[in-house]
Amino acid sequence: MSGAIAVFAKTPGLSPVKTRLASAIGVANAEIFYRLSVAAVSETLATLASRYRTDLQPYWAVAEAEAVGREEWQAFPAIWTGQGTLGDRLHAVYAALENIHDYVILIGTDSPQLTPEAVAEAIDRLGNCGDACVIGPALDGGFYLFAAGIPLRSQLWTRVPYSRASTMQELISGIRADGGHVELLSPRTDTDTLGDLDILFREISRVEMPSRSQQRLSEWLETFLRQPEPGDGSMRSRGDGLG
């Protein structure tokens, strides 16, 4: 089967990145974190593409039309998400790729701890149940991965309230209302806030064979989380109980 895996991404300098996180740790730190996350996701996709050879094509799904040809998105083909709400853009990318591939996987840059094995599990689930939608639950109630190989109505995407604790359940309800079947992967954090950084560090620490980019991100997280909080000298994270 021919598959596509598309990563939704924004281009620093053209769009604000990690805005909720930036409000807590500053724009400069948020951009550093974002670039490290993009590198980790890119390396995971490169490993997947090598493993599946011509059967899996990675894409960047970039938020800005003018960014499609930029240097940072040259590792894989880049497509524009189009305008509109997140639901509009998810539908546009999924529908475009579903027309030329047997299945489509959608992920973001918010879960850089994602491993090739986790994505391979989603692919295996699709192969075992061709009409299923495979979803990776995020700890905040959203989802970090969506995979399917069937046509989906635009309303399935556009009626979902995003960035809420009910986001994934609303999506699942829509799929089931259309007669679809849902398979769930293991939950992972979807990094949006300062508190998520500590959870992400713990999750990366549990990855058995992290990529070089994941190791660099882990090192940055450890350094950042051990910095004293402004004003009181306490640590952002004690770092105990890891591993």
Give the bridge partners for 103, in sequence order. 3
Q: Say if 12 falls within a structural domain.
A: yes
3-class secondary structure, 82: coil
**Terminal CA-CA length for the chain:** 37
**Residue 64 in domain:** yes
We report the CATH number of the domain holding residue 132 as 3.90.550.10
Query: How many domains in the chain?
Result: 1
* CA–CA distance, 153 with 197 (Å, rounded to integer): 35
pTM score over 0.85: yes
- 36: closest CA among 109, 121, 92, 133? 109
Residue range of the domain that includes 50? 3-193
For residue 151, is it within any domain?
A: yes
Could you tell me if residue 220 is inside a domain? no
Q: Is residue 228 part of a domain?
A: no
Is residue 157, in this structure, part of any structural domain at all?
yes
Task: Give a yes or no: residue 101 inside a domain.
Answer: yes
Answer yes or no: is 234 within a domain.
no
pLDDT in tens, the chain (243 residues): 899 999 999 999 999 999 999 999 999 999 999 999 999 999 999 999 888 766 899 999 999 999 999 999 999 999 999 999 999 999 999 999 999 999 999 999 999 999 999 999 999 999 887 789 999 999 999 999 999 999 999 999 999 999 999 999 999 999 999 999 999 999 999 999 999 999 999 999 999 999 999 999 999 999 999 987 655 443 443 332 222
